[in-house]
Chain A
Amino acid sequence: MQQHGTAVVERVFREEYGRLIASLVRRFGDIDIAEEAAGEALVTALEKWPGAGVPPNPGAWLTTTAGNRAIDRLRREKQRDAKHRAALMTYDDAPHEPTGPVEDDRLRLLFTCCHPALAPEARIALTLRLLGGLTVPEIAQAFLVPETTMGQRITRAKRKIAAANVPYRVPQAADLPERLSGVLAVLFLVFNEGYLASGDGDPVRAELTGEAIRLGRVLRHLLPDEPEVAGLLALMVLIESRRRTRVRHGQLVPLDEQDRAGWDHALVAEGHALVRECLATNRPGRYQILAAINAVHTDARTASDTDWSQVLALYDQLSRIDPSPIVALNRAVAVAELDGPDVALSLVDRLPLTGYHPWHAARADLLRRLGRSDEAKTEYDAAIAATQNSAESSYLTRKRGELV
Chain B
Amino acid sequence: MTHYLLTVHGPAERAEFGGYGSREEMEAAFAATGAFNDRLHAEGYWVFAGGLEAASTATVVDGRGDAPVMTDGPYLESKELIGGFWVIDAPDLDVALRLAADGSKACGGKVEVRPFDGIV
Residues of A participating in the B interface, judged by any CB pair closer than 8 Å: 115, 117, 163-167, 169, 171, 175
Contact = CB atoms under 8 A, between A and B. Distances in A.
A329 to B, nearest CB: 34
Nearest to B97: A117
B16 interface: no
Given A164-B96, A169-B92, 11 more contacts: A117-B97, A163-B115, A164-B93, A164-B113, A164-B114, A165-B91, A165-B92, A166-B93, A167-B94, A169-B94, A171-B94
21 contacts: A115-B93, A117-B97, A163-B115, A163-B117, A164-B4, A164-B93, A164-B96, A164-B114, A165-B2, A165-B91, A165-B93, A165-B115, A166-B92, A166-B93, A167-B91, A167-B92, A167-B93, A167-B94, A169-B94, A171-B94, A175-B94
A202 to B, nearest CB: 38
Interface residues of B, number: 12
Interface of B: 2, 4, 91-94, 96-97, 113-115, 117
Contacts of A166: 92-94
A164 B115 CA distance: 5
Most buried by A among B2, B94, B114: B94
Contacts of B117: 163
A241 B96 CA distance: 43
Contacts of B96: 164
A328 B88 CA distance: 46
A165 B4 CA distance: 10
A164 B2 CA distance: 8
- In the A-B complex, the 8 residue pairs with the smallest Cβ-Cβ separation, listed nearest first, are A167-B92, A165-B2, A164-B115, A164-B93, A166-B93, A165-B92, A163-B115, A165-B93
Nearest to A165: B2
A115 B4 CA distance: 18
Contacts of A117: 93, 97
A26 to B, nearest CB: 14
